[in-house]
Structure 1
Amino acid sequence: MNPPENSAVDDGPAGPSAAPAPTSAAPAPTRATSTAPPAPAGYGSHAVHDTAPAGRWEDAHLSGNGEYGIMVNGGPHRERVVLNHHRYVLPNGTRHLRAPETAHRLEEIRDLVLAGRAPEAQRIWADGAELRWTQSFHPGHALEIATPAHGPVRDYLRSTDFATGEITVGWQDDAGPWRRRSFVSRSDAVVVQEFTGPPAELRLRLTGDLPDCPEDVQHRCTATEAAPGLGLLDARATYPPGQGAYGFEAVTLVHAPGARIDTDGDVLILRGARRVLLLTALDRQEQPGWSTGTIRRRLGRLPADYDTLLSAHTALHTPAYRRATLDLGAGGAAARSADLIERQHKHPERLDPALLELLFHSGRYLLLSASGVLPPRLTGLWIGGWGAAWAGDFTTDANLNLQLAGANLAALPEAVHAHAALVRGQIADWRANARALYGIRGLLAPGRTDGEHGHLFHLDDDWPWPAWLAGADWLLHPLHEYWRTTGDDDFLRAELAGWLIGAAEFFEDFLTRVDDRGQVVFVPSYSPEIAPEGVAGSATVNAVMDVAAGRHALESAVEVCEHLGIEPAAVARWRALLPRLPAYLVNSAGSLTEWAWPGLDGNLDHRHVSHLYPVWPLHEITPDTTPALAEAARRALAGRGDENLSAHGSLHRALAAARLRDAGLARANLLKILGADMLFRSLMTSHNPGLEIYNADAAIALPGLVLELLVDARPGRLDLLPALPEELARGTVRGVACQGRVTVLELDWDLAAGTVRALLRSAVDQVLAVHCRGAGQEITLPAGGEREVRFVLRAP
């Protein structure tokens, strides 16, 4: 139980021995689509509040600038701030690994798979090798802060303001009021912290002593007085030699005017300061040597004023955060976040609108904060201990795209730019994969990456990742959707069109086998991470995800090439190939099969639903354009077992259900997360129920899911409230950025009154079909103009 407000609290756990510029991304506009109201005073849905320190690092409050991240535990007298960096990955010797050179055996592999001898085909790729993992994401150093106690702590509160990215910890004791503020600057690439309070002894230390740190990672930390009122903390760590990068470091410049500064080993001791400013920068070294001097000089050039630095940061962060907002009319401002979590636990069978509203805003905040030099990892941008599950990498067959589900809809192009940066750094590797494995042009993406390269090496005899053909199209889809949302032709011309053409070229060259009806055959093929029942091996034929990706890659390349007036000969070839792609199959139970090949079906209890790629995110199968296939997809979704109730599995199901306009099924899958104890007090989420495994899938994907329940948009058509859960009977959403260059400036609904109102704006002249729960109307939207549409709903 949480302590009541204004009660005395204990410190968080003491740290061991507690002594006491973002890179450029794809060119694109960052237009604000709407402005959300300022965060309300006190508790509210634009901040997370807690009246107890973090009892474990998973409950620490979070801030980030897309490159650095911090985790603030909030212990009044024994604070611990973990410093993270997006590019901190533990070298493990995999940098030199490449995709196997098996192109000369492709026809043999195909014959084996078609003959039902997939394990033999898989062994050709793996050649008996063990499964090699990506380099594991790891924390940097921790800043430990110790102050003396002056009687019991009262009025303790820690909070994170989503609109500013600022974490505040405050309390009172017999000496007076104390406050610590911190944020990670998006403008200056620095961690900024300020401590104010009665004059007292303050002890500061940088340490590498974090849970499960490998013994062969060597740390050296120092503390020095640089000048009167100025101190320095330096921390360096070297990786095991010969495995990859050399090491990583942190430098903290301490401004303590009026304080007497002493040192005790690696501890900096400040006496008599009422206000202390800490500026911290991080770096990773590829080769032996350190950037300490360069970092110190950069920190020394920054203004020694917290509010000045905060103002520069919020000029970038706050407008991005305020582009979209949600009000579910639930009085969320009256409750603390921990209370909302507890209330949901008591009623796991019903959605709590106040909690969902808070999670919407928290999820957008975390997506923005984790996106910059790279998009979010499995843990976003945060980790408090070494040994992250699944290496804390970018798992590309599901998790990464799920976390980006709301990047476009929720008006956060910053996240799309970060994803473009990841893709940009790997396109050459994707081309190398296609050449090595298949001897063809185009792009073949790996099933996971640590962000340093995109070579496909994570495979063994049982995991046939070379057969996952969909990866490039799947990973390029958020960028294609971005172009459809913004009309950013500069980005399209400079990079995206070439990438989409590469995805199409892969399928053009790959699809050389045909069946007895003249349809091309996708062989080998793979539906992540599953095999059909009753057959050997996982490499198969015509996995639906691969077929859908092939069709979408060809159609997207045609679309953008015709838009730009380029590649007419290639467009003609792609158009001729499209009708030869296999059709999807429906089994005797009326369900869409996972493989469009006779005799391959089953295995219904699995966390992945990759065969619903045509439903979400593609809009290939929809209730209005392909009603029979939509019903088959719905049956496949409803009949899918939950396996281990992983967050990404439930979210993927919910997103597909929303596209199929099945509110009950979407709601049921959302409740598998909210009703199953998967929310840490920080509002970060777990991978499995019972707070098992720190994981950002649910936390960051939830805004995208909520918006899909409220708005389903594709060029030329907009569906309002397509899958609204019964608990969300009224509300307002603002700033939804839609494909087709339409912005939902505001959508209000009140089911009790039977009214729905939307205010729309278009960037181009267009005719738009707007639908809402069985009713529809066609409207004309002039470029730059606004139009209001209203619906009167019939009583159920």
Structure 2
Amino acid sequence: MYSNYFTEIIPYAGYDIKQIAWHECMACGNGHIGVLTSGAPKNDSFIFQNTEFVMPSDEPRCVPAEVTEQLDEARQSVINMDDTWNIHNRKRTNMYCYHPGHQLRISLKNASDITDFVRSTDYETSELVSSYNMSEYNTYANHIKKRTFASSVDDVIITEISGNSFTVDISIDDFESMHKFGRQKSGDAPELNMKYTRFATDGLIGFCALYPQYEESELKNGGFAGVTRIIPYDGTTSLSFTDTDMRAKSCLDPKNPIITFSGKKLVLITYLDWTYKQPDKITADFFTIPLVSQCINKINKTLIKYADASSLFSYEAALKPHIEKYSSIFNHVSLKLNNADKALSNEELLQKQKKTDYILPELLKRVYNHGRYAMYSCAGHTAPRLSGLWTGEWNMLWRSAYTMDANVNIQVSGMNTCGMYDAGKGYIWFVLKQIPDWEINAKAVYGMKNAVLTPVNTDGHRAMMVEYDINYPFQYWNAGASWMIIPIYEFMQVYGNVTITTHDENIIRIYNKNIFRIKEDILLPLLAKTFNFWEQLCTPEYFTDSNGNARFVKGKTSLEPDEKYLIIPSFSPENKPLGYKSAITANAAMDIAAAVDSLNMYKNILSDIKPNGYQKTLEKITHLISCLPVYMFDKSGAIKEWSMNEYKENNAHRHISHLYCAWPSSETQHNHALASACRQAIINRNRENTGKDDTASHGWIHKALVEARLKNPEAVYNTLLLLFKSGIFYNTFFTDHNTDRSKGVFCTDTLLGIVGIINEMLVYSDECTVELLPALNTGLINGEICGLLTKCGIKINRLLWNNNKRSVYIDISALRDTSFNLIYDNESIHLDMKSGEQTLHKFLH
């Protein structure tokens, strides 16, 4: 990936929503910390990240007490078709907002002409590289090279700058100078109430900040800090100060330190972190501040660890173990496509694509590789935020939360099949940390015991049910936990019943252990809590009769044979029936599919583990499944978004939550009628959903994932072509939230989702099936994918297709003893393979 252009980040600039400078930055990360860099030669910016940084506010951190009392009102409003009930005019509140760390500025002095500029993300090493020639005083050419990586071994960010001879000023920009600081959709933002100081001494530059003190916040005594150590080689450093800008109202110091380096090479090592217990005041002696000392100690350990024989830090020595870990994961999968134009830069390739009516193979390959690179960069610690690991601004739209009603699910869609083992573990830690709050939500909203209810968003610190109102009644979004469990279940299908270990003190404190078996310690208890949720949600008082009409009979204690439970209340994100004013409904198709899917997962785990009394639990699960609502279909043959005679379909919306049965579930794989109904539902959406709502990229990505599961290659190809021809890609191949950039939001669900789409269109798998090229359009004539994993324990060593020669070649290995059907086109071969066994097959058509 390389580009010949850069965009300088200008302090205090008022950016146009479609041209926000940091969006064009290169990015790297190790799942915990990361950095954005513009690569600009004269005024470069390094914006450091920590995925746990959230800005406290005065927003509530507990479920509103009144929500439990409103359950009967909600149910009665639905059963009586009363769309005027407004949950007592509740105003929606929000989780905390993700925020950046410090922005380090490196200004090149005395440079006039800059030539031969190129910046790139090196997928072999995961380094961000920029290089160029400069003329100093117009006297001679000087080649400058900058390299940066986020070490996955030492958890620091390391930058090397080298050249014949150069001079740079190194400083930390005002936090206020960063995009949108202090500005949110309504009123002043909470960071205006934080305080920070910058400091510099011999070889160190950093900052320390105190969070605003909101009494109800768990972060009221907390703060964050970051330190960069400057290691000069063949050169000298000096310290000076400039006056702090008058606009930096949160800064405690009147002077801003600058370290000037002159020489041939320097290395920067950075670490940043946060704490619950920051001192009440930031002292002038920053070494006495525990968090600052912690950052310095972390850097010094790395400095000592990679010292060479001359006691000088070696960038190459630090890079080597990182590459070993990174390459073993990134190179697990490779994609090759014929007719790839490797000579073009990213921006040239994107411009060419806009003028081309077919997908450029080189662009598809680069986006796929960049998606896997970004997935790795977000892996191991948690799941990807809406913006991945990165933000270069304050108060991002939707707070760069972990959004669990589509975005996170899309972002991890290719995680397991790509062999991103660490990403899978990080996702599991992400879920495990939330479960105590999920249990509180289920009790608060529904009065349930030992059950879980997932909120739409988490900020990574809390996952309470606070983000809901009458337009977005997420308190009655019932499918969330089931959807969030699927990637963990897939992890088990791909890797088997492995044991994973955490070093996270929060998880150890919650579960009183650090070692977890996937089936026994994670899936079994979590699916049990999900079963408890569905069982307690369903009550015989609310049901559909033999004609499918919704009914309520107070005191009714059992269902008749021809009756079904009503899933009530219900919410299908983020839609409402046509002509109906309320989004609080019943029998959302997403809820039906999620209930069936999670209950079947629970049955499978119980049958495998066989804990005491499991037979009775299996009987209860089977009975509950038989009593759940069934899907309904409209006059066009499409699956209805709500299985209710009383509602009309509303297809003027981007969300396709009602197609959960196709993806992420696989219910349509052996139900052709249901698959046809899902196809028709997408046709109806595509016909009726137009305009602004149609520019949200996650809607298109979601459609493509569903279409891939439905084995519709033309629709998958056309969706990818639409996205590739749109303006959604930055020159780095990171993506915006909208195809027309109308929201101005850096967002990774499109980039990461494309990885899942490509994997799905090349290989479908379940526990007894491997299907080759189920959704590959003939537009991608020849190609090869290596390293994909499947849900039946098979590794695709090599899948080679050639549509010109009408042939497919497959080389597979068994990761465990397994039995499955290998399918291509209309041909099926049953295989029984032992662990470690390898086999080759060739199909002609």
The TM-score, its normalising length taken from structure 1, stands at: 0.90
Q: Provide the rounded CA distance (Å) in 1 between the counterparts of 2:455 and 2:9.
A: 41
Higher RCO (CA-CA < 8 Å; seq separation 6+)? 1
Would the alpha carbon gap of residues 12 and 403 (structure 1) be closer, same or farther in structure 2, given more than 3 Å must change? Answer: closer
Q: Provide the rounded CA distance (Å) in 1 between the counterparts of 2:701 and 2:576.
A: 21
1:204 partner SS: strand
Q: Provide the rounded CA distance (Å) in 2 between the counterparts of 1:671 and 1:221.
A: 48
Alignment of 1:395-406 (within 5 A): 395-406=403-414
Q: Counterpart in 1 of 2:298?
A: 298
In structure 1, what residue type is equivalent to 2:301? R
Q: Counterpart in 1 of 2:99?
A: 138
Q: Counterpart in 1 of 2:625?
A: 578
Alignment of 1:96-107 (within 5 A): 96-107=61-72
Q: Counterpart in 2 of 1:35?
A: none
Deviates more, 1:647-656 or 1:192-201: 192-201
Q: Counterpart in 1 of 2:198?
A: 222
- Answer yes or no: is the 8 Å Cα contact 1:332–1:358 preserved in 2: no
In structure 2, what residue type is equivalent to 1:556? M
Q: Provide the rounded CA distance (Å) in 2 between the counterparts of 1:603 and 1:55.
A: 35
1:426 partner SS: helix
Q: Provide the rounded CA distance (Å) in 2 between the counterparts of 1:376 and 1:393.
A: 9
Is the aligned partner of 1:607 residue 2:687?
Answer: no
Alignment of 1:529-540 (within 5 A): 529-540=574-585
Q: Counterpart in 2 of 1:775?
A: 827
Q: CA deviation at 1:118?
A: 4.3
* Residue 352 (structure 1) aligned to one of 345, 360, 370: 360
In structure 1, what residue type is equivalent to 2:210? T
Is the aligned partner of 1:167 residue 2:128?
Answer: yes
2:225 partner SS: strand
Q: Counterpart in 2 of 1:47?
A: none
In structure 1, what residue type is equivalent to 2:569? P
Q: Provide the rounded CA distance (Å) in 2 between the counterparts of 1:470 and 1:241.
A: 36
Q: Provide the rounded CA distance (Å) in 1 between the counterparts of 2:20 and 2:147.
A: 20
Q: Counterpart in 2 of 1:263?
A: 239
Q: Provide the rounded CA distance (Å) in 1 between the counterparts of 2:635 and 2:69.
A: 39
Q: Provide the rounded CA distance (Å) in 2 between the counterparts of 1:628 and 1:667.
A: 23
Would the alpha carbon gap of residues 219 and 99 (structure 1) be closer, same or farther in structure 2, given more than 3 Å must change? Answer: closer
Deviates more, 1:588-597 or 1:689-698: 689-698
Q: Provide the rounded CA distance (Å) in 1 between the counterparts of 2:572 and 2:147.
A: 47
Is the aligned partner of 1:437 residue 2:437?
Answer: no
1:385 partner SS: coil
Q: CA deviation at 1:202?
A: 1.9
Alignment of 1:36-47 (within 5 A): none
In structure 2, what residue type is equivalent to 1:505? N
Is the aligned partner of 1:281 residue 2:310?
Answer: no
Q: Counterpart in 2 of 1:237?
A: 209
* Residue 551 (structure 1) aligned to one of 578, 581, 596: 596
- Answer yes or no: is the 8 Å Cα contact 1:104–1:439 preserved in 2: no
Q: CA deviation at 1:319?
A: 0.7
Q: Counterpart in 2 of 1:212?
A: 180
Q: Counterpart in 1 of 2:710?
A: 660
Q: CA deviation at 1:332?
A: 4.0
1:153 partner SS: strand
Q: Counterpart in 1 of 2:397?
A: 389
Q: Counterpart in 2 of 1:512?
A: 539
1:272 partner SS: strand
Would the alpha carbon gap of residues 699 and 551 (structure 1) be closer, same or farther in structure 2, given more than 3 Å must change? Answer: same
Q: Counterpart in 1 of 2:248?
A: none
- Answer yes or no: is the 8 Å Cα contact 1:99–1:455 preserved in 2: no
Alignment of 1:240-251 (within 5 A): 240-242=212-214, 244=217, 245=219, 246-251=222-227
Per-residue Cα deviation, 1:119-138 (whole angstroms, up to 9, x for no partner):
42x51xxx333111221112
Q: Counterpart in 2 of 1:34?
A: none
Is the aligned partner of 1:80 residue 2:51?
Answer: no
Q: Provide the rounded CA distance (Å) in 1 between the counterparts of 2:354 and 2:479.
A: 38
Deviates more, 1:165-174 or 1:772-781: 772-781
Q: Provide the rounded CA distance (Å) in 2 between the counterparts of 1:458 and 1:119.
A: 20
Would the alpha carbon gap of residues 260 and 218 (structure 1) be closer, same or farther in structure 2, given more than 3 Å must change? Answer: farther
1:688 partner SS: coil
The TM-score, its normalising length taken from structure 2, stands at: 0.85
Q: CA deviation at 1:731?
A: 0.3
Q: Provide the rounded CA distance (Å) in 2 between the counterparts of 1:134 and 1:350.
A: 42
Q: CA deviation at 1:241?
A: 2.2
Q: Provide the rounded CA distance (Å) in 2 between the counterparts of 1:499 and 1:100.
A: 25
Q: Provide the rounded CA distance (Å) in 2 between the counterparts of 1:668 and 1:280.
A: 44
Q: CA deviation at 1:219?
A: 5.3
- Answer yes or no: is the 8 Å Cα contact 2:380–2:424 preserved in 1: no
Q: Provide the rounded CA distance (Å) in 2 between the counterparts of 1:357 and 1:679.
A: 14
Q: Provide the rounded CA distance (Å) in 2 between the counterparts of 1:307 and 1:156.
A: 23
Would the alpha carbon gap of residues 213 and 238 (structure 1) be closer, same or farther in structure 2, given more than 3 Å must change? Answer: farther
Q: Counterpart in 2 of 1:407?
A: 415
Q: Provide the rounded CA distance (Å) in 2 between the counterparts of 1:224 and 1:646.
A: 44
* Residue 476 (structure 1) aligned to one of 463, 482, 485: 485
Q: CA deviation at 1:163?
A: 2.8
Q: CA deviation at 1:342?
A: 1.0
Q: Provide the rounded CA distance (Å) in 1 between the counterparts of 2:585 and 2:395.
A: 33
Q: Counterpart in 2 of 1:417?
A: 425
Q: Counterpart in 2 of 1:272?
A: 262
2:146 partner SS: strand
Instruction: Give the gaps of 5 or more residues in structure 2.
Output: 14-18, 135-139, 183-190, 242-255, 280-288, 307-312, 499-516, 546-561
In structure 2, what residue type is equivalent to 1:193? T
Deviates more, 1:735-744 or 1:103-112: 103-112
- Answer yes or no: is the 8 Å Cα contact 1:645–1:688 preserved in 2: yes
* Residue 323 (structure 1) aligned to one of 316, 321, 332: 332
Q: CA deviation at 1:305?
A: 1.6
Q: CA deviation at 1:248?
A: 1.6
Q: CA deviation at 1:175?
A: 4.3
Q: Provide the rounded CA distance (Å) in 2 between the counterparts of 1:271 and 1:778.
A: 67
Alignment of 1:683-694 (within 5 A): 683-692=733-742, 693-694=745-746
In structure 2, what residue type is equivalent to 1:60? C
In structure 1, what residue type is equivalent to 2:121? T
2:75 partner SS: helix
Is the aligned partner of 1:756 residue 2:785?
Answer: no
In structure 2, what residue type is equivalent to 1:440? M
Instruction: Give the gaps of 5 or more residues in structure 1.
Output: 19-53
Q: Counterpart in 2 of 1:29?
A: none
Q: Provide the rounded CA distance (Å) in 2 between the counterparts of 1:791 and 1:753.
A: 11
2:113 partner SS: coil
- Answer yes or no: is the 8 Å Cα contact 1:12–1:79 preserved in 2: no
Q: CA deviation at 1:610?
A: 0.3
Q: Provide the rounded CA distance (Å) in 2 between the counterparts of 1:485 and 1:531.
A: 37
Q: Provide the rounded CA distance (Å) in 2 between the counterparts of 1:262 and 1:218.
A: 30
* Residue 724 (structure 2) aligned to one of 654, 674, 677: 674
Q: Counterpart in 1 of 2:473?
A: 464
Q: Provide the rounded CA distance (Å) in 2 between the counterparts of 1:105 and 1:253.
A: 55
Q: Provide the rounded CA distance (Å) in 2 between the counterparts of 1:681 and 1:99.
A: 44
Q: Counterpart in 2 of 1:22?
A: none
Q: CA deviation at 1:172?
A: 1.5
Q: Provide the rounded CA distance (Å) in 1 between the counterparts of 2:651 and 2:470.
A: 23
Would the alpha carbon gap of residues 464 and 17 (structure 1) be closer, same or farther in structure 2, given more than 3 Å must change? Answer: closer
2:169 partner SS: strand
In structure 1, what residue type is equivalent to 2:768? G
Would the alpha carbon gap of residues 134 and 17 (structure 1) be closer, same or farther in structure 2, given more than 3 Å must change? Answer: closer
Deviates more, 1:83-92 or 1:539-548: 83-92
Q: Provide the rounded CA distance (Å) in 2 between the counterparts of 1:648 and 1:105.
A: 32
Q: Counterpart in 2 of 1:50?
A: none
In structure 1, what residue type is equivalent to 2:733? L
* Residue 651 (structure 1) aligned to one of 693, 701, 723: 701
Is the aligned partner of 1:68 residue 2:63?
Answer: no
Q: CA RMSD in A?
A: 2.0
In structure 1, what residue type is equivalent to 2:223? G
Per-residue Cα deviation, 1:615-668 (whole angstroms, up to 9, x for no partner):
01111112xx11111111101111112533211000110111111111111122
Is the aligned partner of 1:338 residue 2:347?
Answer: yes
Q: CA deviation at 1:428?
A: 0.8
Q: CA deviation at 1:414?
A: 1.7
Q: Provide the rounded CA distance (Å) in 2 between the counterparts of 1:628 and 1:351.
A: 32
Q: Counterpart in 2 of 1:495?
A: 522
Is the aligned partner of 1:195 residue 2:152?
Answer: no
Alignment of 1:440-459 (within 5 A): 440-441=448-449, 442-459=451-468
Is the aligned partner of 1:13 residue 2:18?
Answer: no
Q: Provide the rounded CA distance (Å) in 2 between the counterparts of 1:670 and 1:639.
A: 19
In structure 2, what residue type is equivalent to 1:645? T
